[in-house]
Structure 1
Amino acid sequence: MSIERRPILFFVVFTLALYLLGNGMIPATDPVETNYTQTAKEMLASGDFISPRIFGNFWYDKPVFFYWELIGAFSLFGISDFSARLFPSVFGMIGVLMTYWFAKRIYDKKTAGYAALMLATSFGYWLVSKTIITDMTLFVFFNAVLVFFYIAYTSENKKWYYLCYLFAGLAVLTKGPIGILLPGLVVTIFICVRRDFKEILRMKPLGFVVFVAVVAVWYYPMIVLHGDDFIKNFLGVHNVLRATQSEHPLWNVWWYYSVLFFLIFMPWSFMTLPKTLARYVKAYRENHELPKFDQTQLFLLIWAITVTLFYQNMATKYTTYTLPTLLPISILGARYMINHDRLFKRTAAVWTICLVVLTFLVAIPVTRNQGYSQWEAGAYLKEICNDDDLIVEIGDYKVSLTYYSDLKVYRLETRADVQKERPDGKSWKAKNFMPFYAIEDLPRDKKVYLLVQSKRRKAFEANMKVDEWELVRTFPRFELFVRKPQS
């Protein structure tokens, strides 16, 4: 089996082996992955597959499609770490196959093989293919819109445009309005640069019926069931607020995604971009001419640059937002690497081994032992706690405690802070759906288990009588105390 003889079979086996490897030993991590797993778990238990919920509250953080993936995996294979990571890995494979098919169609078989392998082994793509988040699903649906747009644009068969509307609908079901707005922006810029405005009339406007039918599967019942609460929180907080107010101000810098590119496309970023830029600079110095791009190169560049600049201008920045750029960048990079066969093959082989090593020597031990997931504490609480015991936590709330214990874990604050931190629908506090408990209200007549995050030890000592609490066990970044019922 080889890329040259059986490329599709090769990439199916290669990507699934690489992306599924070790997944059963990587626990769901806080703060993001466990939000998804806990939500899907509660939806499955409730039998309500329309309204996402967490801690018993309706939850409008993301649309429903990724939760459906998790529910499907949990239903088929049981609730486990492997099941939770299954569909991101499967969509990772689909994204690689789509890249191969598209690159072969617009260039040739060799370019397609190189582009697919570059994408499959790039660090960011590999990482997201093993991560319980929406981004790999969005990668496939978002990029499929642009793939089928360009196929329709360059083909006599304009029926390909219907697939654009279908995948735009699926992208909106996965991430929200960005699923159609951003691909639409890429297409608009390309049409304007080409000055090919007549093509707009050929884009099958009736395809919007397909788009509306897809998004209505979930958005219509959500509006009917939850009305203004859904609209204000989903659109107002999780879309508009995210774009206008930084959730992580430290990351809101102009160079964020430019620097990040070298990490997520590693190792290929260091082998393609600097040398390509150097070649263009040399040509300009010698001939005083700017680089000229053919139609396909132009489209791929507009695709990658538009996505990057769009997210660069959003207030909230995440490492995965620009993941869709890796498809056009991989194809452009492959056009350079096909002239360096030996270097490409050696790099791909060595880097694949590095990713396997990273799985077992970094991903598994770090997530299990460094406090990024409180799976061990959750499992321990499930074993020792009775139904009438109270479990509270001081520190950054860890959803993994609830997910792995099947117990209700409260966020412990002073009574005044409880009121300050509750969701208000106007700020990032709208995400604070975890159950709260006031320190002043802790009962004396029942056993109380208290988890204290290491960095909040001083708050514990300042607000509570430490001598009343007995240390039970220490976990990464946490200490577990117990206070027995007092007469």
Structure 2
Amino acid sequence: MAKRLTMLLLFLSSLTFFLSFNASLPISDPVESNYALTAKEMVLTGDWMSPQIYGHYWFDKPIMVYWLLAISFKIFGITDFAARFPAGLFSAASVTFTYWFGQKIFSNTKTALLSSLVLATSLEFWVLAKMVITDSILFFYTSITLAMLYLGLKNTGSKWYVSLAYMAAGLAVLTKGPVGLVLPGLIICSYIMISRQWQLFRKVFILPGIFAFLIIAAPWYVKMYQLHGTNFLDTFLGLHNYLRATVSEHPKDNVFYYYLVLFPISLLPWSGIFIKSMGVVRKELSSSQLIYLTNWSILTIIFYTMMATKYPTYVFPASFPAALLIGYTLGKMQSLKDRKVWWWLSIPAIALLLLISLSSRFIPTAASWTMLYIGAFVSIALILWKQLKGNVYHLPQIIAIVTVIMNLFLIHNGLIPLAETRSAKSISAELPAERARIASYGEYSTSAVFYSGYNIPRLIHEEEPQQLGTWAGKYTMPTQTIREFTSDTSMSYILVSNKDNRNFMNEPFSKQFSPVATRNAITLYQRVANHND
């Protein structure tokens, strides 16, 4: 009963944290708006099978994230809060599941609770918990897959655990594609080889599990092939999976140390303890739990390091085993009297507080940062006092609480204004409710389509080629030539980002338009009535 109550309180408190201020956090470009608009079109068209954007089929991601967003839109309406609800919900579920799994493998309530607190307050985790992307959902399903596989290898009733793992893998494949099965398969196989327990392969590859996976994952893919044929395979598997793995979308990021730098940053303020946990694992090589978790986190990083295209969120699933390793290490540290070892926690925590304070210099906002500076100063003083003179036993809990408070302040005063600078929500409110012609010049804002409901083409010159090259298939926004758009003399508007404003003003046709509003780095131009072309 106490365990269930703890899990309920963990879920509700983390859900409250992750959903805080979401109603005020606008959908941003260029990533979030693609997911939000696709789900919106799913609701409006009633087509819940084939993802589409701008009225055209779009095979960037599988269906799961769009289903979840569309369901949220149906429940809460097509709002910012609804768009961010699934990520917050699944993140809260991941924190709760961390506690449950920690109890299972460590049989220690304190370690399980510390692990869940670590996960909830890690830098990347709480940021992604508020974003309209697939990562928080994939994180949850991948964590269940690998956790259940481990329990299936080590416990009685193994077939049930392994079957649950296959079911979760099926849901992961519906969320992100083949990686939802491939990565867990590599991790579990590598663990079996490292531990040299070859007989465990019999427990992993079971027909009920494979059948459950196919029942969940296969129908949508089969239906998509029936509806769209090789176009679906070429775009989804070819462009968005195989090509990203073999051709770097951002060549400057394709360096071997990319995740070696980003992953410790993503774990702040707990990154020092993660490094410390590697020493703990070396001393306890007989612990199958620690070996499994270490293999899980390290192999995830290696796997994505080998991929040509690199994104900061790709190794996000490694945060789950990392949080458990950190929770275990913190529990061990609390049983020691060595105060010096706690610098592994205090220094990264202080660094994070300083980073949050310095971020105010780079975030455009009219809000006052005074309370944040005071909070950071008091928090750093408290951490240093605990480190040098006080009782360090409760230092992890204190840092978790401080992190939550500072993050809430940063979200309100920082992330919301920052998202507004990357969103067309405000400028869309200046558009007529209907019967206008809207176009976009230069940088394209999908959020303008999401908020306004207008079909907004990107203006191009007649001699300008359509998107060509390796990644041409990613760009699906509608286009229209400048001559075609300006030849229609009905009420017309053009959205221009500030960085494209000079180029726009140098266009001969810009004389036909006059600025009527500027909101968050986007200017709205209206066609001048009775202009003599």
Decide: shared fold, TM above 0.5.
yes
Which residue number corresponds to residue 327 of structure 1?
Answer: 320
Which residue number corresponds to residue 397 of structure 1?
Answer: 444
Displacement after TM superposition at 1:17 (Å): 1.1
Displacement after TM superposition at 1:236 (Å): 0.5
The answer to whether residue 415 in structure 2 is matched with residue 372 in structure 1 is no
Which residue number corresponds to residue 452 of structure 1?
Answer: 496
| Contact 2:290 2:325 (C-alpha < 8 Å) held by counterparts | yes
**Structure 1 residues 178-257: aligned runs within 5 Å:** 178-203=179-204, 204-257=206-259
Distance in 1 separating the partners of 2:508 and 2:408? 46
Distance in 1 separating the partners of 2:271 and 2:285? 22
> In the alignment, residue 481 of structure 1 is paired with which amino acid?
Y
Work out which of the residue numbers 475, 495, 498 in structure 2 matches 1:432.
Answer: 475
Distance in 2 separating the partners of 1:393 and 1:458? 15
**Structure 1 residues 101-120: aligned runs within 5 Å:** 101-107=100-106, 108-120=108-120
Work out which of the residue numbers 451, 466, 469 in structure 2 matches 1:420.
Answer: 466
Distance in 2 separating the partners of 1:17 and 1:457? 41
Distance in 1 separating the partners of 2:222 and 2:274? 45
Distance 1:227 1:168, change over 3 A: same
Which residue number corresponds to residue 286 of structure 1?
Answer: none
Displacement after TM superposition at 1:431 (Å): 1.6
| Contact 1:311 1:322 (C-alpha < 8 Å) held by counterparts | yes
| Contact 2:300 2:315 (C-alpha < 8 Å) held by counterparts | yes
> In the alignment, residue 233 of structure 2 is paired with which amino acid?
I
Kindly provide the CA deviation profile for residues 231-262 of structure 1, in whole angstroms up to 9, marking residues without a partner as x.
Answer: 10000001011111222223222211111112
| Contact 2:119 2:319 (C-alpha < 8 Å) held by counterparts | yes
> SS of the residue aligned with 1:456?
helix
Which residue number corresponds to residue 28 of structure 1?
Answer: 27
Which segment drifts farther, 312-321 or 167-176? 312-321
> In the alignment, residue 31 of structure 1 is paired with which amino acid?
P
**Structure 1 residues 54-453: aligned runs within 5 Å:** 54-107=53-106, 108-159=108-159, 160-203=161-204, 204-270=206-272, 272-276=273-277, 292=285, 294-338=287-331, 339-340=333-334, 341-368=393-420, 371-381=421-431, 384=432, 386-387=434-435, 389-417=436-464, 419-421=465-467, 427-441=470-484, 442-453=486-497
Displacement after TM superposition at 1:455 (Å): 1.7
Distance in 1 separating the partners of 2:407 and 2:3? 23
| Contact 2:25 2:80 (C-alpha < 8 Å) held by counterparts | yes
| Contact 1:106 1:296 (C-alpha < 8 Å) held by counterparts | yes
| Contact 2:123 2:269 (C-alpha < 8 Å) held by counterparts | yes
Distance 1:276 1:300, change over 3 A: closer
Kindly provide the CA deviation profile for residues 452-472 of structure 1, in whole angstroms up to 9, marking residues without a partner as x.
Answer: 222222322333344332111
| Contact 2:427 2:517 (C-alpha < 8 Å) held by counterparts | no
Distance in 1 separating the partners of 2:510 and 2:449? 25
Which segment drifts farther, 75-84 or 459-468? 459-468
Question: What's the C-alpha RMSD, in Å, of the aligned pairs?
Answer: 2.0
| Contact 1:445 1:486 (C-alpha < 8 Å) held by counterparts | no
Distance in 2 separating the partners of 1:477 and 1:153? 55
| Contact 2:119 2:125 (C-alpha < 8 Å) held by counterparts | yes
| Contact 2:427 2:523 (C-alpha < 8 Å) held by counterparts | no
Displacement after TM superposition at 1:296 (Å): 1.3
> Is there any run of 5+ residues in structure 2 with no aligned partner, and where?
335-392
| Contact 2:274 2:325 (C-alpha < 8 Å) held by counterparts | no
| Contact 1:134 1:174 (C-alpha < 8 Å) held by counterparts | yes
Distance in 2 separating the partners of 1:196 and 1:5? 34
Which segment drifts farther, 220-229 or 389-398? 389-398
Distance in 2 separating the partners of 1:10 and 1:290? 34
Displacement after TM superposition at 1:415 (Å): 1.4
Distance 1:89 1:385, change over 3 A: closer
Displacement after TM superposition at 1:156 (Å): 2.3
| Contact 1:378 1:403 (C-alpha < 8 Å) held by counterparts | no
If the length of structure 2 is used for normalisation, what is the TM-score?
A: 0.84
Displacement after TM superposition at 1:200 (Å): 1.4
> SS of the residue aligned with 2:194?
helix
The answer to whether residue 42 in structure 2 is matched with residue 43 in structure 1 is yes
Displacement after TM superposition at 1:11 (Å): 0.4
> In the alignment, residue 241 of structure 1 is paired with which amino acid?
L
Displacement after TM superposition at 1:276 (Å): 4.5
Residue-pair matches, total: 468
> Is there any run of 5+ residues in structure 1 with no aligned partner, and where?
284-288
Distance in 1 separating the partners of 2:12 and 2:491? 52
Displacement after TM superposition at 1:274 (Å): 4.5
> SS of the residue aligned with 1:161?
helix
| Contact 2:166 2:209 (C-alpha < 8 Å) held by counterparts | yes
Displacement after TM superposition at 1:343 (Å): 1.5
> In the alignment, residue 270 of structure 2 is paired with which amino acid?
W
The answer to whether residue 523 in structure 2 is matched with residue 475 in structure 1 is no
Distance in 1 separating the partners of 2:228 and 2:116? 42
| Contact 1:168 1:180 (C-alpha < 8 Å) held by counterparts | yes
> In the alignment, residue 237 of structure 1 is paired with which amino acid?
L
The answer to whether residue 506 in structure 2 is matched with residue 462 in structure 1 is yes
Kindly provide the CA deviation profile for residues 86-133 of structure 1, in whole angstroms up to 9, marking residues without a partner as x.
Answer: 111110011011111111111011110000111011111111111111
Distance in 1 separating the partners of 2:53 and 2:286? 49
Distance in 1 separating the partners of 2:515 and 2:62? 42
| Contact 2:35 2:133 (C-alpha < 8 Å) held by counterparts | yes
Distance in 1 separating the partners of 2:135 and 2:479? 30
Displacement after TM superposition at 1:385 (Å): 5.5
Aligned-residue identity in percent: 35
> SS of the residue aligned with 1:437?
strand
Distance in 1 separating the partners of 2:240 and 2:113? 38
| Contact 2:430 2:517 (C-alpha < 8 Å) held by counterparts | no
> SS of the residue aligned with 1:415?
coil
Which segment drifts farther, 438-447 or 318-327? 438-447
Distance 1:110 1:32, change over 3 A: same
If the length of structure 1 is used for normalisation, what is the TM-score?
A: 0.92
Distance 1:5 1:170, change over 3 A: closer
Which residue number corresponds to residue 344 of structure 2?
Answer: none
Displacement after TM superposition at 1:85 (Å): 0.8
